[in-house]
Amino acid sequence: MAVLAIVLAYYLESDPISRILLIGSVWLVLVVETINSAIEAVVDRIGPELHPLSGRAKDLGSLAVTLAIILAAWIWISLLWRLVQ
């Protein structure tokens, strides 16, 4: 999906700043997802027992990914809406 979005951003008739925002928002989601995966790996490495702080770390990592996706969607919708008009 990310590759498709980046390729699409190159083919859209937009100014360079809009293209940077479109592509940058996709990269931001990938970076935050990578950090979330690292957090989950560290928590899983520490031990299999359930601990409230472990669950909180994983939940906050997932929240960060969700917020990055919402931001990317907002950027894409806003800029595509501007291009259509």
Selecting among 13, 33, 40, 49, the annotated active-site residue is: 33
Torsion angle of the four alpha carbons 60, 63, 69, 73, in this order, in degrees rounded to the nearest 10: -140
Known catalytic residue at 40: no
Torsion of CA 11, 1, 34, 27, to 10 degrees: 10
Residue 30 is encoded by which pair of tokens?
């990938």
CA distances from 25 to 33, 51, 62, 64 (A): 12, 33, 17, 13
Q: Which residues are tagged catalytic?
A: 33
